C-alpha cells in the first residue's frame, strides 16, 4: 500500500474568492501568487482584472434603495384624532360632551367596578404605565388596618423564634458514632 502525498491546503484568500473545497493538485500554483495576466485564472469569485472594483470607488455608487415610509406615524396620528373626537354622553337627564378617550376610560373603570377580570388587568396595566396611584386617599385607612395586625404578626414571629432558641434540637448521629455502652465510659 502506497502513501499519497497530502494535498496543499487552501489559504484564506482562496477560500474567500470561491475556491471552497477545491484543491489544486499542482503545488506550485497554490503557493505562489499570480504574477501576470497570463497566469491569472478567471472563475467564480475571480472576475477579470479590468472589471474588479477600483480602490476607493464604491461597488454600489447609487447607494441602497430607500426604505418604504413607515406607517407607524400615520397610525399614531389616526389614533390621536380618533381619541380626540367628541361624543355626547347621557347621564340621567343631563347630557355632557367628552372626548372618546375620556369615554373609553370611564367605560373601562365601569367594567372594572362590575368585576370584569380583563378590565381589571387592563386598568392596572394602564395605571402602572401612567403612574396613577390606585389607592389614592385610602392609604391612611390601609395603614391603620395593618397597624393592629402588624403587632400580632410580630409577636407570633418572636414567640416562634424564641421557642427555637430555648429548646435545642436533638442531635441525630449515625449509629456507628453513638456510644451505647455506659460501662465503657466508666472504665476510661
> Cβ neighbours of residue 45 under 8 Å, at least 6 residues apart?
16, 17, 18, 19
Helices vs. strands in the chain: H and E counts, helices first: 7, 2
Does 23 map to a domain?
no
In a domain, 116, yes or no: yes
Range of the domain at 126: 80-130
185 is a domain residue: no
Is residue 102 domain-resident?
Answer: yes
pLDDT tens per residue, range 1-31: 555 555 555 555 554 555 444 554 544 444 4
Domain-embedded: residue 123: yes
The confidence score (pLDDT) of residue 122 equals 95
Helical axes 100-114 vs 72-84, angle rounded to 10° = 80
- What pLDDT does 7 receive? 55
**Taking the chain (188 residues) in consecutive chunks of 10 residues, what is each chunk's mean pLDDT?**
56 50 48 60 89 86 89 93 94 92 94 95 92 79 74 84 73 73 57
Beta carbons within 8 Å of 123's beta carbon, 6+ residues apart: 108, 109, 112
The angle at the Cα of 111, spanning 110 to 113, to the nearest 5 degrees, equals: 65
pLDDT value of position 77: 94
Q: How many domains does the chain have?
A: 1
> What is the Cα–Cα distance from 48 to 42, expressed in whole angstroms?
6
Looking at residue 34, what is its pLDDT? Answer: 44
| Per-residue pLDDT at 30 | 46
| Predicted pLDDT of residue 181 | 64
Q: Is residue 120 part of a domain?
A: yes
Task: Please check whether residue 90 lies inside any domain of the structure.
Answer: yes
pTM listed for this prediction? 0.41
For residue 164, give the DSSP letter: H
What pLDDT is attached to residue 165?
72
pLDDT at 29: 46
Identify which of 100, 96, 66, 60 has the alpha carbon closest to the alpha carbon of residue 80.
100
Domain annotation covers residue 100: yes
In the prediction, which pLDDT does 186 show?
Answer: 55
Amino acid at each position: 500500500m502506497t502513501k499519497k502525498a497530502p494535498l496543499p491546503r487552501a489559504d484564506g484568500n482562496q477560500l474567500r474568492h470561491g475556491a471552497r473545497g477545491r484543491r489544486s493538485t499542482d503545488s506550485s500554483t497554490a503557493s505562489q501568487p499570480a504574477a501576470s495576466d497570463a497566469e491569472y485564472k478567471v472563475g467564480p469569485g475571480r472576475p477579470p482584472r479590468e472589471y474588479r472594483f477600483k480602490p476607493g470607488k464604491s461597488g454600489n455608487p447609487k447607494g441602497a434603495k430607500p426604505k418604504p415610509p413607515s406607517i407607524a406615524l400615520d397610525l399614531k396620528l389616526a389614533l390621536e384624532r380618533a381619541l380626540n373626537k367628541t361624543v355626547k354622553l347621557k347621564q340621567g337627564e343631563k347630557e355632557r360632551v367628552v372626548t372618546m378617550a375620556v369615554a373609553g376610560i370611564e367605560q373601562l373603570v365601569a367594567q372594572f367596578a362590575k368585576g370584569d377580570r380583563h378590565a381589571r388587568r387592563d386598568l392596572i396595566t394602564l395605571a402602572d404605565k401612567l403612574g396613577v396611584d390606585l389607592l389614592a386617599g385610602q392609604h391612611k385607612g390601609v395603614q391603620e388596618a395593618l397597624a393592629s395586625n402588624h403587632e400580632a404578626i410580630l409577636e407570633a414571629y418572636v414567640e416562634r423564634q424564641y421557642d427555637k432558641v430555648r429548646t435545642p434540637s436533638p442531635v441525630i448521629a449515625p449509629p456507628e458514632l453513638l456510644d451505647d455502652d455506659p460501662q465503657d465510659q466508666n472504665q476510661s
